Amino acid sequence: MPHLMNTYKRLPVAFTHGQGCRLFDEQGKSYLDALAGIAVNTLGHNHPRLVKALGEQLGRLIHTSNLYRVGEAELVSDRLAAISGMDEVFFCNSGCEANEAAIKLARLYGHQQGIEQPTVIVMEQAFHGRTLATLSATGNRKVQAGFEPLVTGFVRVPFDDLDAIEQLAARNPNVVAVLFEPIQGEGGINIAHHDFMRSLRRICDQKNWLFMVDEVQCGIGRTGIWFAHQHAGILPDVMTLAKGLGSGIPIGACLAAGRASGVFKPGNHGSTFGGNPLACVAALTTLDVIADDALMLRASTLGDRIRDALRNGLADVGGLVEVRGDGLMIGVELDRPCTELVALGLEAGLLINVTADKVVRLLPALTMSDAEADELVSGLVPLIKKFLEAK
Ligand SMILES: *Cc1c(COP(=O)(O)O)cnc(C)c1O
In angstroms, rounded to a whole number, what is the distance separating the alpha carbons of residues 41 and 20?
9
Residue type, 37: G
3-state helix, strand, coil in the chain (%, to 5): 40, 20, 40
For 183-247, strand residue ranges (E) read 183-184, 190-191, 210-214, 238-241
Strand partners, 252: 92
For residue 193, the one-letter residue type is H
Closest residue CA from atom 15 of ligand 1: 217
Nearby residues of 316 by Cβ (< 8 Å), 6 or more positions away: none
The residue contributing the CA closest to ligand 1 atom 10 is 128
Give percent of the chain with pLDDT exceeding 70.
100
Q: Residue 310 Cα, ligand 1 centroid: separation in angstroms?
A: 27
Nearest CA to ligand 1 atom 11: 128
Atom of ligand 1 nearest to the CA of 214: 13
> pLDDT category, 143, cuts 50, 70, 90?
very high
Ligand 1 centre to CA of 94 (Å) is: 7
Q: What is the mean pLDDT of residues 256-270?
A: 97
DSSP string, 294-358: THHHHHHHHHHHHHHHHHHHTTT-TTEEEEEEETTEEEEEESS--THHHHHHHHTTEE-EEETTT
**Contacts for 1 with CB less than 8 Å, ≥ 6 apart:** none
Report CA(104)–ligand 1 centroid distance (Å): 17
pLDDT of 391 > 90? The answer is no
- Among 285, 188, 220, 183, CA closest to 40: 220
CA-nearest residue for atom 6, ligand 1, is 95
389 CA to middle of ligand 1, Å?
A: 34
149 upstream amide cis, omega within 30 of 0: yes
The pLDDT score that the predictor gives to residue 129 is: 98
Give the SS3 label for residue 66.
Answer: coil
Number of the ligand 1 atom closest to the C-alpha atom of 126: 13
Ligand 1 neighbours (beta carbon < 6 A)? 94-96, 99, 127-129, 181, 185-186, 214, 216-217, 242-243
pLDDT at 1: 79
The pLDDT tens digits of the residues spanning 100-114 come to 999 999 999 999 999
Q: Give the pLDDT band of residue 322 (cuts 50, 70, 90).
A: very high
Q: Are 78 and 89 in contact (CB under 8 A)?
A: no
Tell me the pTM.
Answer: 0.98
Backbone φ and ψ for 350, nearest 5 degrees, come out as -130, 120
Average pLDDT over residues 206-224: 98
> Does residue 44 come out as left (phi exceeding 0), alpha (psi in the -120 to 50 range) or beta?
left
Cβ contacts of 67 within 8 Å, gap of 6 or more: none
